[in-house]
Amino acid sequence: MVGETDIKDKNEARKIVILLISLVAVLLIGGALLFPALMEIATVHMLPGLGFKDAAVISFFVTIVLMIVLTITAGEGLLGELQFVLGGFFLFFLIIWMFIAWIF
């Protein structure tokens, strides 16, 4: 025995799924149409690059500020979990350094 509310819920769920599928399809089509223009913009503006030395300096200060903010918001203070802060520092530094050198 299927109740009237179950039928309404099924119809509503079908409508939502159809809308989500159509939204994803529109986004994929739009992304496919924008891809050549975005690649042209990326090649023009990202060609010169920043360099590894400048990116390392920027990454160092960004990582220091980020580690201070993370340790203060964690509640333990700056020396609470020093072994994790040092590991996180080097990991964040490496990732941010490579991203800055790659993107800018």
Query: pLDDT by residue for the chain (104 residues), tens digit each?
Result: 567 888 899 999 999 999 999 999 999 999 899 888 888 877 776 666 677 888 888 899 999 989 888 888 877 665 667 778 888 889 999 999 888 887 76
Spell out the residues 6+ positions from residue 27 whose beta carbon is closer than 8 angstroms to its own.
Answer: none
Q: Is 67 found in the same domain as 43? A: no
d(CA 29, CA 5): 36
Q: Is 76 found in the same domain as 37? A: no
Tell me the chain's radius of gyration from C-alpha atoms: 24
Q: Which helix (H) or strand (E) holds 1?
A: none
Q: Is 102 found in the same domain as 58? A: yes
Q: Is 61 found in the same domain as 73? A: yes
Structure token digits, residue 49: 């690059």
Angle at 86 between CA 83 and CA 90, to 5 degrees: 145
Q: Is 97 found in the same domain as 60? A: yes
Q: Would you tell me how many other CB atoms lie within 10 Å of the CB of residue 42?
A: 11
The domain of 65 spans: 49-104
- In the prediction, which pLDDT does 45 show? 67
Q: Is 73 found in the same domain as 35? A: no
What pTM value is reported for the model?
A: 0.49
